[in-house]
Amino acid sequence: MAGAATIPAFLPMLPTQITAQQHFVRSLRIPIPLDQVESRGTPQASGPGHEIYRNSCFMIGPISSAFDFLTFYVMLTVLKANETLFQTGWFVESLSTQVLVIFIIRTRGNPFKSRAHPFLVATSLTVMTNRRHIAIYPFWNVFRPLFAPPAQFYAILAAMVVTYLAIVEVAKRGFLQVA
């Protein structure tokens, strides 16, 4: 957020938008204790596996930041975004990656082969649906004007999110081999 504030001539996301985003992300934490990940090599919070968690933060954090800056570039140069479109675009991109990365980091194995708890899937789908609607429906204008980005944005977003998730998966496999 600090780096983002130096790029455009306006706030990249308003406090109410950050609050809404954090509300959605926190709702995803509710079903996590119900999720049963394969027990093969699942590390404990302390001990030898502790390095895995630390390494994941050091690797995935910069990847996430790089994709945020890529979003800024796309919003400002490709889409020529004004303040409202920029804030909407970053809100949607950031929330999308925060929701979907859970399915990558929740398992040591292939995220497509490891079945998440149905409540985690349902909560994630609800958040993803609402993140799109928050940008469209007038009720959400309390979060200050977010609106539906152009279709071009969603095409670019889809490519960026898929790329982000693939890079996080590769990074995950890398730091799991080191540990």
pLDDT one-digit tens code per residue, 8-62: 778 888 787 788 788 888 888 888 888 877 665 455 545 555 666 676 777 888 8
| Number of helical H runs and strand E runs in the chain | 5, 0
> Does some domain include residue 39?
no
The two three-digit tokens of residue 117, written as one number: 């708890």
- Closest by CA position to 84, among listed 146, 154, 134: 146
Q: How far apart are the first and last CA of the chain?
A: 30
Please write the tens of the pLDDT for every residue from 91-137: 888 888 988 998 888 888 888 888 888 998 998 888 887 765 665 55
Answer yes or no: is 134 within a domain. Answer: yes
Is 139 among the domain residues? yes
Count of domains observed in the chain: 1
Instruction: Give the domain range for residue 104.
Output: 20-28+46-178
The answer to whether position 14 is within a domain reads: no
Is residue 80 included in any domain, yes or no? yes
pTM score of the predicted model: 0.79
Residue 115: other Cβ atoms inside 10 A? 14
CATH code of the domain containing 72: 1.20.1110.10
Asked if the structure places residue 2 within a domain, the reply is no
